[in-house]
Amino acid sequence: MKKTFSLMLVMMIALTLVLSACGAKNNNEGGANTGTNEGTKVESDGTGKDFKIGMVTDVGGVHDKSFNQSAWEALETVTAETGAATKFLESEGEADMEPNLNSFVKEGYNLTWGIGFLFNDALSKVAKENPDAKLAVIDSVIEAPNVASITFAEHEGSFLVGVVAGLMTKTNKIGFVGGMEIPVIKKFEAGFKAGVTAVKPDAKVEVDYTGDFGKSDLGKLAAATMYDGGVDIIFHAAGGTGNGVFNEAKARKDNGDDVWVIGVDKDQSLEFGDEITLTSMMKGVEAAVHKVSKDLIAGNFAGGTTQELGLKHDAVGLPDTSEKNVPADVLAKVEEYKAKIVSGEIKVPTE
């Protein structure tokens, strides 16, 4: 499912872009792929060797095992495939975002990414002040001719993992741990709660916003409180903070407790293991960043466009590894609800 998920998303973005075209701080050097490093395979020599693509992370950092990491892995693939130079800068707070973006723009990068909703103000300002620069953003809509905006229907995918949680909880107590209480994370919460309620209306969903995307200790504390209160399944949408949820679940599992975590953005069972990851709500950030970046190199940058990607595009959903822990009858119910959402029979709330 993972390869199919990414392939269909890439095809969908390609079609959308064609149709649209027709009608860290400053002292943080981040990481870089020059396209000529030893061990880097350049499949198309010269196709991207003169291009530079920069990425600014949100506060979770590039190694958050989630959102930012997905985007950076996409750019690493772009380097391997085309020889383009790619680099990231990390933001320790919102104050770092504008100077980090400007760093790439002033250095003449061909494309600069802002990864996350928190970039709305900073990227809008940089785009306005640098009309010749090309920028792209995930999870925010910026109406500017030099910006490509990509958003996702997180609430739809979250509804499906809510169905899993509702059907598999043994305590009727389920948890949601969010990072910052911002609109995009509220979409995760709303969809998840709606999915739980659809299959288990008497289940209670406890919610905790830690206020940060990069502090695993806060995620661990939130999870400990929930598990102590009888919650047996926690869905997190908290970036690097969510790593602490996994850490707490592992400690509990090692002690014999029957608790689970539902991951986010990536298939987090690949990082944290099947023994604690019930499933994940995957989000096609990697495929989207990869496609838009390669389109730039090909001369097809779709500035001034916005794409919202959801279940009908296979841009959100569950990974194949769900089959390891989620029974076939539960996965069948997930597919049933997916069909109803795609058809419009069910409209998933966003708040």
349 belongs to a structural domain: no
Same domain, 110 and 37: yes
351 belongs to a structural domain: no
Same domain, 220 and 327: yes
The number of folded domains in the chain is 2
Same domain, 106 and 212: no
Q: Please give the chain's pLDDT, 351 residues, in tens.
A: 544 555 455 555 554 444 344 333 333 445 666 543 222 233 344 478 899 999 999 888 899 888 899 999 999 999 999 999 999 999 989 999 999 999 999 999 999 999 999 999 999 999 999 999 999 999 999 999 999 999 999 999 999 999 999 999 999 999 999 999 999 999 999 999 999 999 999 999 999 999 999 999 999 999 999 999 999 999 999 999 999 999 999 999 999 999 999 999 989 999 999 999 999 999 989 989 998 999 999 999 989 999 888 999 888 999 999 999 999 999 999 999 999 999 999 999 999
264 belongs to a structural domain: yes
Q: What is the pLDDT of residue 327?
A: 98
348 belongs to a structural domain: no
- Other CB atoms within a 10 A radius of the CB of residue 15 amount to 11
Same domain, 230 and 217: yes
350 belongs to a structural domain: no
29 belongs to a structural domain: yes
Q: Domain range for residue 191?
A: 155-282+319-343
Same domain, 115 and 220: no
Same domain, 119 and 240: no
Q: What is the pLDDT of residue 48?
A: 87
Same domain, 123 and 191: no
Same domain, 13 and 70: yes
Same domain, 233 and 335: yes
166 belongs to a structural domain: yes
Same domain, 216 and 300: no
30 belongs to a structural domain: yes
Same domain, 231 and 265: yes
Q: What is the pLDDT of residue 6?
A: 53
Same domain, 129 and 210: no
CATH code, domain with 73? 3.40.50.2300
Q: What is the pLDDT of residue 24?
A: 37
The pTM for the full model equals 0.81
